[in-house]
Amino acid sequence: MTRNTHFLNADLHCHSLVSDGVMTPAALARRAAENGVQLWSLTDHDELAGLREAQEACRELDLPFITGVEISATWAGRTVHIVGLNIDPDNQALKDGLEAIRAGRVDRARQIALRLEKMGVQGSYEGALRYAANPQLLSRTHFARFLLEQGYCKTMQEVFDRYLGDGRSGNVRIHWSRLEEAVGWIVGAGGRAVIAHPGRYTYDSTQADAFFDAFRQLGGEGIEVVTGSHRPEQYRQYAEVARRYGFMVSRGSDFHAPSESHIDLGALPELPSDLKPVWHDWM
Ligand code: AMP
Ligand code: MN
Ligand code: MN
Ligand code: MN
């Protein structure tokens, strides 16, 4: 195969209402196609339930589709997100692993609500649940939508800065999955493991290097460089990490909702031309 797919408009990270997005998988597929996406993946948090609908919609739209998931994991006491691409959604170990993570979310949501109550916010469990199409997947995003609705804050960013983000009381830390489990499930399901939005983790540079090393040793192959969660200088920073560790590179908007996401599906800049895209051998 000689066709050069490097500059394909690939968008390999976004969320439907199966996790903390607001659109159905089919509506996202249509939006991706309308926006000129040429290779698309749906990567809901800890959940595969939207993939069938996404795949069927893509078949009708003639939009090349890659199965995906974004797995919550814990490494060195912090949360990291590992995207799995081109996974077999029927793989039993992967399905069981994700089910266990989702079970942890239910109890965590109760704890978040208790913490918010102490901060003067009543009824947030039920309130968040109203925003969650999938009650197994209660996320901080759903709590944030409730806090916005109730007028506690004006923007999503403010909600995370004051109530739900790193170091804030509403950010209840739990053990998600171990990094080796998350990568192992992805690789075991025939997929490619990719570090999601590395620029969002608050590791110092020694810890970050140890994280990249551990990920690579476990069989992780890729890293997101161009993502809706990075600023342009972080595109350059993580391109350099990819060169240093020999990672393939990925590109994804991390689109959640038209009114919340600052980068739309398919609206990302290109990847640096010297790096190998995660999709290089898929097209
Ligand atoms: P959870 O998996 O329940 O911990 O929720 C994490 C989700 O919250 C992420 O996937 C994002 O969608 C959202 N999120 C985290 N930090 C922010 C932020 N600063 N602004 C907006 N959304 C955020
Ligand atoms: Mn999210
Ligand atoms: Mn993420
Ligand atoms: Mn995401």
Would you write out the chain's pLDDT as a tens digit for each of its 283 residues?
336 899 999 999 999 999 999 999 999 999 999 999 999 999 999 999 999 999 999 999 999 999 999 999 999 999 999 999 999 999 999 999 999 999 999 999 999 999 999 999 999 999 999 999 999 999 999 999 999 999 999 999 999 999 999 999 999 999 999 999 999 999 999 999 999 999 999 999 999 999 999 999 999 999 999 999 999 999 999 999 999 999 999 999 999 999 998 899 999 999 999 999 999 999 8
Are residues 94 and 223 located together in one domain of the fold? yes
Which CATH number belongs to the domain containing residue 190 in this structure? Answer: 3.20.20.140
Q: Do 68 and 192 have their domain in common?
A: yes
DSSP codes, 3-57:
---TT--EE--B--TTTT-SS-HHHHHHHHHHTT-SEEE---BT--TTHHHHHHH
Residue 116, domain CATH: 1.10.150.650
The total domain count for the chain is 2
Residue 172 belongs to a domain:
no
The alpha carbon of 205 and the centre of ligand 1 are apart by a number of angstroms equal to 23
Tell the burial category of 84 from Cβ atoms under 10 Å away from its Cβ (0-12, 13-18, 19+): buried
Range of the domain at 87: 7-98+177-252
Residues 14 and 153 in one domain: no
221 and 141 in a common domain: no
Is position 44 within any domain?
yes
User: Do the bridges between strand 68-75 and strand 65-66 make them parallel or antiparallel, or are there none, so unpaired?
Assistant: unpaired
13 shares its domain with 90: yes
- Both tokens of 188, joined, read 């075991």
26 with 59, same domain: the answer is yes
171: Cβ contacts below 8 Å, ≥ 6 apart: 140, 164, 165
Predicted TM-score (pTM) of the model is 0.98
Nearest alpha carbon to residue 132 among 144, 115, 121 = 144
Residues at CB less than 6 angstroms from ligand 1:
20, 45, 72, 139-141, 156-157, 160, 165, 256
CA of 255 to the centre of ligand 4 (A): 7
- Measured in angstroms, how far is the CA atom of residue 256 from the centroid of ligand 4? 8
Cα(189)–Cα(45) distance, integer angstroms = 17
- Residue 149 included in any domain: yes
Three-state secondary structure call for residue 259: coil
Distance between CA 126 and CA 37 in Å, rounded? 36
CA 52, CA 24: separation in Å to the nearest integer?
12
